[in-house]
Amino acid sequence: MIARLMDAVFVWIARLMDAVFGCRHAHYSFPVTIRGKARRPQAAVLTGTYVACLECGREFPYDWQEMKVISSPERHREHLAELAKHAA
Ligand SMILES: [Zn+2]
């Protein structure tokens, strides 16, 4: 009974962490690059490429140049700043 309650608490904490820090899962689909601007998923807006988490189904922008998933809002901002620098 206690163990089950602890499980529920851990699941809740994990969800909370996901919500605050973004997905912590390590299994992503192969990066998908969207061509054209129509019907771009939100996650693909930044780089034109995105991956989907195979565990929770969330979608994240993917940076082919750095071969990295841009998973947290903070990285998102850094990336935008980086892009702006290159554009300037
Ligand atoms: Zn996930």
Residue type, 46: L
Indicate the SS3 state at residue 48.
coil
- For tokens 């994240």, the residue is 60
Distance 71 CA to ligand 1 centre (A): 10
For position 9, what pLDDT does the model report? 87
For position 37, what pLDDT does the model report? 65
CB-based neighbours (< 5 A) of ligand 1, an ion: 23, 25, 53, 55-56
Residue 22 to residue 16: CA distance in whole angstroms: 9
Domain extents in the chain: 26-87
Distance 88 CA to ligand 1 centre (A): 34
Q: Which two tokens stand for residue 48?
A: 């034109």
pLDDT one digit per residue (tens) for the chain, 88 residues: 788 888 998 888 777 776 666 677 888 899 988 887 667 777 787 788 999 989 888 888 898 888 888 876 666 677 778 878 887 7
Which stretches does DSSP call E strand in the chain?
32-33, 49-52, 59-63, 68-69
For position 80, what pLDDT does the model report? 76
Q: Residue 59 forms beta bridges with which residues?
A: 52
For position 13, what pLDDT does the model report? 76
In eight-state DSSP terms, residue 22 is: -
Distance 86 CA to ligand 1 centre (A): 31
